[in-house]
């Protein structure tokens, strides 16, 4: 799941991105409104975490520009403004959620996951395919109650494809979605992660979920 | 709690009852007196008629009214009247047959005198009598007078008492009294109702004002008192003052709300930073480098929050009058250098201070507060001036007062910003604010200057140089 964190506080950026990385999110960091728009222009994000008081261009203007450009990615406003009018304004301008500072980091992560599920149209946090259960909350994968140990990248890849069943994603699309802008990931790395994921699933006796469409990319059917 | 309408109405009604009662009593006594006078006049006239029918001739006293069939009211009947006459010495001369064996009282009177009195008549009715002391009319024949042997009887004073019933008088007085009383009651009832209505109508603007005032609470302080039609001279100043008070209360409430919101906002971001650091820190206990960085952030956040809280406390103390001005002699040039070194040097923003304060100038001022003022001004000057810009401090004389002036070039300050710069939490661009600047610095500077009986003046000249002038320095030497 790819997240753009737009926040001018360097300290909050640091701690939030560390925590989100730890939860398997690919996080891009923007410190002002203009920087956020430049990120949005070249990347597809599942969720944008948006502060309202931003240098150069305030958060609501950023939100307005994102929506007027036809971008439908989820936006979660994270602001110190706690007035009901501020929330209403933010939500009415196209935000999908609003959190007031100070906030619980765990709640933020849960809301990000909920937004992601909403995007993929899956309400259940557990995805089950051919006996393989992917739990997006505990980030665990099981095959008939037998736990399958995956690295964060392998889990991210499986969850991303499983939550978008039937859709084919190219190497580049997977790199965009699963890695942040500062990670220089090659096509080979994606192939290596796919190969490793297939191997671990096979070792557990699970069916081969990740299929290859030659010349197009990968999918979970 | 009493009602003005009730109290006013009751008092007016009671006063009206008293006035009407007194007037009714006076009217009654006036009418009763008149009726009694008319009655007495009739009694007197009748008595005079009897006197005129009393004469003295050669045969002695004659009472023509006593002749049979002349005045039947003295004989018998439904409406009997009475008379009795005595000559001087108390010898009864005649009495009316209606008296029978009864007597009329004979008061002692001098000649020509008369007196009225209430008595009980012989038949038991209430009566009115008149007693008159008179000389009988002498009646003689002129031919007989020429006879020298003729002797006229000697005329002697006679006391006559005439009495008649007074029930008709009493009935009249009774009717008059009741009429006045009933009229009085009717007038009181009518006027009381009228007073109640008129007082209510007269106090309607007050009731309207009270209704409007009682409808105002902290949720609708934007409401203002109004009236329909012409405003009364008495209520106009009250309404005006209340509206003025409401305006000030609304302004104070909004200022308070703004202040609370600003404080909350200022503390929310560092609090969320602390909270996230704590929560994320628990997730990476093995990453010592990351944890060390987090602890460093916690230290910075604590310092930032401490600065906000300390500044707020200083402001509160200054507004509560807890800070005193404790002046002492200060060598101003050295003191500026000292404050600059402590406030600016080592902050990571190396800029040059051009100190143009006379080297031997000694001022009499509160060193602690002056230090806080200079520290805030220097930090602001350093943070909000372009890179490589210089900060200048000098003394100037304005309007006969010595002022210390700090000046620096600015980046995006506009003349219209100047009026807001002393406001709490005001910052040109909150989002662009560097960490540690809460927007309270100039507010605190202004508050401290007031305690030191000095003025802070802010100015932005045409060349974009920002001047802060601290006027009112007391020079001791130099």
pLDDT tens digits for range A51-104: 998 888 889 999 999 999 999 899 999 998 888 888 999 999 999 999 999 899
Domain boundary pick from B175, B193, B208 = B175
As a whole number of angstroms, the longest Cα–Cα distance in chain A is 55
Checking if the pLDDT of B73 tops 60, the result is: yes
The CATH number of residue B300's host domain is: 1.10.287.130
Show Cβ contacts of residue B345 under 8 Å, excluding neighbours closer than 6 positions: none
Please name the helix (run of DSSP H) or strand (run of DSSP E) that holds residue A22, with its range, or none.
Answer: helix A10-22
Residues A207 and A130 both lie in one domain: yes
Residues of chain A with Cβ-Cβ distance to B271 below 8 Å are: 101-102
Which chain A residues are Cβ-neighbours of B274 within 8 angstroms? 102
Of these ranges, B134-148, B214-228, B253-267, the one predicted with the greatest mean pLDDT is B214-228
Domain final residue, candidates B175, B190, B217: B175
Planar angle of CA B405, B410, B416, nearest 5 degrees: 90
Distance CA B334, CA B273 (A): 40
Which of A71, A87, A120 marks a domain boundary? Answer: A120
In this structure, the answer to whether residues B285 and B355 fall within a common structural domain is no
Q: Mark whether B81 and B126 lie in a shared domain.
A: yes
Residue B371 within any structural domain of the chain: yes
Q: What is the mean pLDDT of residues A128-137?
A: 86
| Co-location of B424 and B315 in the same domain | no
The tokens of B104 are what? 């009329």
Q: B270: distance to nearest CA of chain A, Å? A: 8
For every residue of B297-314, DSSP letters joined together read: HHHHHHHHHHHHHHHHHH
Q: Which residues of B touch A53 (CB under 8 A)?
A: 430-431
- Do residues A168 and A113 share a domain? no
CATH number where B127 lies? 3.30.450
Would residue B188 count as lying in a domain?
Answer: no
Q: Which residue from B320, B308, B407, B399 is spatially nearest to B357, judged by alpha carbons?
A: B407
Is the separation of the CB atoms in A163 and A125 below 8 Å?
no
Strand residues in B110-208 grouped as ranges (E): 114-120, 126-134, 137-138, 158-165
B2, with CB counted inside 10 A (0-12, 13-18, 19+), is exposed
Boundaries of domain holding B344:
328-477
B137/B13 same-domain check: yes
Question: What range defines the domain where residue A112 resides?
Answer: 2-120
Give the count of beta carbons closer than 10 Å to the beta carbon of residue B66: 20
Q: What is the pLDDT of residue B436?
A: 58
Task: Specify whether A38 is located in the same domain as A146.
Answer: no
Distance in Å, alpha carbon of B254 to nearest chain A alpha carbon: 14
- Please check whether residues B28 and B171 belong to one and the same domain: yes
In a domain, B185, yes or no: no
| Coil vs helix vs strand at A207 | coil
Whether residue B265 is predicted with pLDDT greater than 80 in this model: the reply is no
Tokens (6 digits) for A152 = 């964060």
Report d(CA B452, CA B459) in Å as an integer: 21
B303 to chain A, any CB pair closer than 8 A? The answer is: no
Rounded CA-CA distance B245/B224 in Å is 10
Record: contact B280-A58, CB cut-off 8 A: no
| Nearest residue on chain B to A15, alpha-carbon basis | B277
**Among residues A98, A120, A142, which one ends one of the domains?**
A120
Contact B273, A99 (CB under 8 A): no
Which residues of A fall within a CB distance of 8 Å from B284? 18, 22
- β-bridge pairing A126-129 and A132-135: antiparallel
User: Which residues make Cβ contacts (< 8 Å) with residue B7, sequence separation at least 6?
Assistant: none
CB B478 within 8 A of CB B358: yes
Decide if B208 is inside a domain. no
Please tell me whether residues A133 and A115 are part of one structural domain: no
Residues paired with B117 in a beta bridge: B129
Do B273 and A105 make contact, defined as CB atoms within 8 angstroms? no
Q: Is B297 on the interface with A (CB under 8 A)?
A: yes
> In this model, does residue B478 exceed pLDDT 80?
no
The total of structural domains in chain B comes to 3
Residues B298 and B445 in one domain: no
Candidates B273, B284, B431; nearest CB to A12 = B273
> Higher-confidence residue: B260 or A21?
A21
The pLDDT of B275-304, averaged and rounded, is 88
Count of domains for chain A = 2
Q: Greatest CA span in chain B, whole angstroms? A: 175
A7 three-state secondary structure: coil
Alpha carbon of A167: minimum distance to chain B alpha carbons (Å): 34
Numbered residues of chain A with Cβ closer than 8 Å to any chain B Cβ: 8-9, 11-12, 14-16, 18-19, 22, 53-56, 58, 80-83, 100-106
The partner residue sitting opposite B431, judged by closest CB among A54, A82, A102, is A54
One domain for residues B277 and B334: no
| Per-residue model confidence as pLDDT tens digits over B157-195 | 999 999 999 998 999 999 999 999 999 999 999 999 999
What Rg do the C-alpha atoms of chain B give, in angstroms? 56
Q: Which CATH number do you get for residue B447? A: 3.30.565.10
Q: How far A221 CA sits from the closest chain B CA (Å)?
A: 34
Q: A86 and A53 in one domain?
A: yes
Q: Tell whether B145 and B128 lie within a shared domain.
A: yes
A64 plus A47 within the same structural domain: yes
| Residue A29 and residue A81 in one domain | yes
| Interface residue of A7, A18, A23, A32 to substitute, partner B, most B CBs within 10 Å | A18
Q: Is B157 on the interface with A (CB under 8 A)?
A: no
Q: pLDDT value at position B283?
A: 87
Q: Please indicate, yes or no, if residue B186 is contained in any of the structural domains.
A: no
Considering CB atoms only, which of A54, A83, A101 is closest to B272?
A101
Do B265 and B374 share a structural domain? Answer: no
Any CB–CB contact under 8 A between B264 and chain A?
A: yes
- B272–A19 C-beta distance less than 8 A: no
B113 and B147, same domain (yes or no): yes
Reduced 3-state DSSP string for chain B: CCCHHHHHHHHHHHHHHHHHHHHHHHHHHHHHHHHHHHHHHHHHHHHHHHHHCEEEECCEEEEHHHCCCCCHHHCCCCCCCEEEEEECCCEEEEECHHHCCCCCCCCCCCCCCEEEEEEECCCCCEEEEEEEEECCEECCCHHHHHCCCCCCCCCCCEEEEEEEECHHHHHHHHHHHHHHHHHHHHHHHHHHHHHHHHHHHHCHHHHHHHHHHHCCCHHHCCCCCCCCCCCCCCHHHHHHHHHHHHHHHHHHHHHHHHHHHHHHHHHHHHHHHHHHHHHHHHHCCCCHHHHHHHHHHHHHHHHHHHHHHHHHHHHHHHHCCCCCCCCEEEEHHHHHHHHHHHHCCCCCCCCEEEECCCCCCEEEECHHHHHHHHHHHHHHHHHCCCCCCEEEEEEEEECCEEEEEEEEECCCCCHHHHHHCCCCCCCCCHHHCCCCCCCCHHHHHHHHHHHCCCEEEEEECCCCEEEEEEEEECEEEC
Q: Could you give the CA distance from residue B350 to residue B344 in angstroms, rounded to a whole number?
A: 7
Is B280 within 8 Å of A104 when comparing Cβ atoms?
A: no
Boundary (domain end) residue, out of B123, B147, B175: B175
Q: Searching chain B, which residue's CA lies closest to the CA of residue A81? A: B265
Q: Which contiguous run of DSSP H or E holds residue B393? A: strand B390-398
Q: Please tell me the predicted confidence (pLDDT) of residue B143.
A: 66
Q: Is pLDDT of B435 > 60?
A: no
Chain B: closest CA distance from residue A133 (Å): 25
Give how far B423 is from chain A: nearest CA, Å. 19
Task: Return the number of other C-beta atoms located less than 10 Å from residue B319's C-beta.
Answer: 12
> Choosing among B257, B266, B272, which should be mutated to test the A contact, i.e. which has the most A CBs within 10 A?
B272
| Token pair listed for B84 | 């009795």
Tell me whether B272 touches chain A (CB under 8 Å): yes
Residue B163 near residue B121 (C-beta atoms within 8 A): yes
pLDDT at B434 over 60: no
A5: left (phi over 0), alpha (psi -120 to 50) or beta: beta
Cβ-defined contact of A19 to B276 (cutoff 8 Å)? yes
DSSP secondary structure code for residue B465 in this structure: E
Give the per-residue pLDDT at A67: 93
Q: What is the mean pLDDT of chain B?
A: 86
- Give the residue from B211, B196, B204, B194 showing the smallest Cα distance to B231: B204
Question: Same structural domain for residues B124 and B141?
Answer: yes
Are A214 and A111 found together in one domain?
Answer: no
Top-ranked range on mean pLDDT: pick from A27-41, A119-133, B132-146, B280-294: A27-41
Tokens representing B135? 């000389």
Angle at B343 between CA B340 and CA B349, to 5 degrees: 90
Asked whether the predicted pLDDT for residue B8 surpasses 70, the reply is yes
Are B312 and B339 part of one and the same domain? no
CB B275 within 8 A of CB A104: yes
Considering the domain boundaries, does residue B180 fall inside one? no
* pLDDT number for residue B346: 60
Domain-embedded: residue B59: yes
B348-387: per-residue pLDDT in tens?
Answer: 667 888 999 999 999 999 999 999 999 989 988 888 888 8
Q: Across the interface, which of B271, B281, B431 has its CB nearest the CB of A102?
A: B271
Determine, yes or no, domain membership for B55. Answer: yes
The distance of B13 to chain A (nearest Cα, Å) reads 58
Using CB atoms, pick whichever of A18, A58, A80 lies closest to residue B290. A18
Q: Which chain B residue shows the shortest CA-CA distance from A51?
A: B431
User: B280 vs A18: CB contact, 8 Å cut-off?
Assistant: yes
Give the residue from A88, A120, A152 where a domain finishes. Answer: A120
Candidate from B272, B290, B293 with C-beta closest to A12: B272
Beta-carbon contacts of B381 under 8 Å, excluding residues fewer than 6 positions away, are B391, B406, B407, B408, B466
Chain B interface disruption, residue of A102, A106, A108, most B CBs within 10 A: A102
B268 touches chain A (CB under 8 A): yes
């Amino acid at each position: 799941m790819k997240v753009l964190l737009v926040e001018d506080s360097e300290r909050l950026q640091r701690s939030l991105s560390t925590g989100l990385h730890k939860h398997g999110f690919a996080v891009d960091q923007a410190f002002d409104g203009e920087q956020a728009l430049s990120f949005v222009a070249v990347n597809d994000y599942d969720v944008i975490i948006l502060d309202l008081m931003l240098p150069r261009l305030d958060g609501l203007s950023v939100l307005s520009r994102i929506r007027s450009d036809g971008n439908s990615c989820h936006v979660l406003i994270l602001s110190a403004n706690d007035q009901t009018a501020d929330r209403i304004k933010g939500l009415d301008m196209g935000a999908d959620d609003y959190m007031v500072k100070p906030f619980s980091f765990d709640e933020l992560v849960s809301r990000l996951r909920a937004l992601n599920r909403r995007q993929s149209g899956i309400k259940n946090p557990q995805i089950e395919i051919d006996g393989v259960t992917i739990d997006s909350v505990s980030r665990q994968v099981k095959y008939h109650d037998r736990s399958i140990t995956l690295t964060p990248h392998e889990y991210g890849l499986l969850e991303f494809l499983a939550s978008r069943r039937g859709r084919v994603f190219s190497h580049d699309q997977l790199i965009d979605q699963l890695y942040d802008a500062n990670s220089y990931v090659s096509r080979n790395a994606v192939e290596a992660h796919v190969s490793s994921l297939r191997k671990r699933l096979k070792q557990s006796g699970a069916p081969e979920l990740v299929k290859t469409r030659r010349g197009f990319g990968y999918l979970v059917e | 709690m009493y009602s003005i309408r009730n109290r006013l109405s009751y008092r007016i009604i009671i006063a009206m009852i008293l006035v009407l009662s007194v007037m009714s009593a006076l009217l009654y006594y006036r009418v009763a007196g008149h009726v009694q006078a008319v009655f007495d006049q009739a009694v007197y006239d009748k008595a005079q008629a009897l006197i005129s029918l009393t004469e003295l001739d050669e045969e002695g006293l004659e009472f023509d009214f006593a002749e049979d069939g002349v005045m039947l009211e003295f004989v018998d009947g439904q409406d009997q009247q009475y008379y009795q006459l005595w000559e001087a010495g108390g010898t009864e001369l005649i009495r009316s047959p209606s008296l029978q064996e009864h007597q009329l009282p004979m008061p002692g009177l001098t000649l020509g005198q008369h007196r009225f009195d209430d008595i009980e008549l012989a038949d038991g009715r209430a009566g009115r009598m008149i007693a008159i002391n008179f000389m009988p009319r002498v009646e003689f024949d002129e031919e007989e007078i020429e006879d020298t042997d003729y002797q006229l009887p000697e005329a002697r004073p006679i006391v006559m008492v005439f009495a008649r019933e007074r029930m008709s008088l009493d009935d009249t007085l009774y009717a008059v009294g009741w009429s006045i009383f009933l009229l009085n009651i009717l007038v009181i009832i009518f006027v009381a109702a009228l007073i109640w209505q008129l007082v209510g109508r007269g106090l309607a603007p007050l009731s309207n004002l009270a209704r409007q005032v009682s409808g105002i609470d902290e949720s609708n302080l934007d409401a203002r008192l109004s009236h329909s039609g012409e405003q009364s001279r008495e209520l106009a100043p009250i309404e005006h003052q209340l509206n003025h008070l409401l305006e000030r209360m609304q302004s104070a409430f909004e200022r308070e709300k703004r202040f609370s919101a600003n404080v909350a906002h200022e503390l929310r971001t560092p609090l969320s930073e602390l909270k996230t650091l704590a929560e994320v820190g628990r997730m990476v206990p093995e990453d010592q480098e990351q944890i060390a960085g987090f602890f460093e952030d916690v230290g910075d956040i604590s310092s930032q929050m401490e600065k906000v809280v300390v500044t707020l406390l200083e402001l509160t103390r200054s507004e509560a009058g807890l800070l005193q001005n404790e002046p002492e002699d200060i060598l101003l040039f050295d003191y500026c250098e000292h404050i600059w070194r402590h406030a600016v040097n080592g902050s990571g923003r190396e800029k040059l201070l051009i100190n143009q304060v006379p080297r031997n100038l000694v001022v009499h001022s509160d060193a602690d507060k002056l230090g806080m003022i200079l520290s805030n001004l220097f930090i602001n000057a350093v943070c909000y001036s372009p890179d490589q810009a210089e900060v200048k401090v000098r003394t100037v004389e304005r309007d006969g007062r010595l002022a210390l002036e700090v000046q620096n070039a600015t980046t995006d300050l506009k003349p219209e910003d100047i009026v807001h710069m002393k406001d709490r939490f005001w910052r040109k661009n909150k989002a662009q604010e560097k960490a540690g600047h809460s927007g309270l610095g100039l507010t605190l500077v202004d508050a401290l200057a007031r305690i030191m009986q000095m003025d802070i003046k802010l100015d932005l000249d045409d060349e974009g140089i920002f001047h802060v002038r601290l006027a009112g320095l007391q020079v001791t030497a130099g």
